[in-house]
Amino acid sequence: MSFSRIFSISAMLCLAVSAQSAQQNGKPAPPPPPTEPVHTEAIFINPKGRTEGVDPFFPKSDRPYTVPQPITPTKQPLSVTAELKLNGISGSPEHRLAIINNRTFEIGEEGDVISGSDRVRIRCLEVKPESVIIQFVAGGLRREIHLRRGL
């Protein structure tokens, strides 16, 4: 007989004896004490070269072996180049509205406008009778846009 077969037979005999003794006492057998769960910790080691391992999803990539370069912030202000066109000014003199790239803005309103193939977020700061002052939200740059002359 193999060891596993002997072990399973002896385990069944122990269970049968304990169940029979519990029946004879008239009390059910107490539940076994709870066991503590076993916690295992996963450890991941980045390979230093192809001989130590490769990325299973991208085996031809050199990404696991390179050290990422930190991004250094620039001290220069962002320059925003966007084609903005003041299509019109409407509303009463007390409550003027500016139409910029076919989107209407009131003073203090912030929103996205389409400039070429990009979206640019701007804030309308002031609406004058012939122009509007806007601020690019991304860089803080201010610009005054005039109505087209000769209309």
Question: Which tens digit of pLDDT belongs to each residue from 89-140?
Answer: 998 888 999 999 999 999 999 999 998 888 899 999 999 999 999 999 887 8
pLDDT at 85: 92
Task: Indicate the SS3 state at residue 151.
Answer: coil
pTM of the predicted protein model:
0.47
Alpha carbon distance 131, 70 (integer Å): 43
Residue 103 counted as domain residue: yes
Q: What is the structure's pLDDT at 61?
A: 85
The answer to whether residue 61 sits within a structural domain is no
Q: Which pLDDT score is estimated for 80?
A: 60
Structural domain that includes position 124: 86-146
In a domain, 135, yes or no: yes
Q: Identify the pLDDT of residue 140.
A: 84
**What are the pLDDT digits (tens) for 52-82?**
888 888 888 887 777 777 777 666 555 566 7
Helix (H, G, I), strand (E, B) or coil at 40: coil
The amino acid occupying position 20 is: Q
Rounded Cα distance, 80 and 123, in Å: 14
Would you say residue 98 lies in a domain? yes
Residue 60 inside a domain? The answer is: no
Give the DSSP letter string of 48-94: SSTTT---SS-TT--GGGSPPPPPPPPSSPPP------EEEEEEETT
Q: Which amino acid is at 148?
A: R
If one counts the domains in the chain, the total is 1
Domain assignment of residue 33, yes or no:
no
Stronger pLDDT, 110 or 1, i.e. the higher one: 110
- Residue 25 in domain: no
The per-residue pLDDT for 138 is: 82
Q: 141 lies in a domain? A: yes
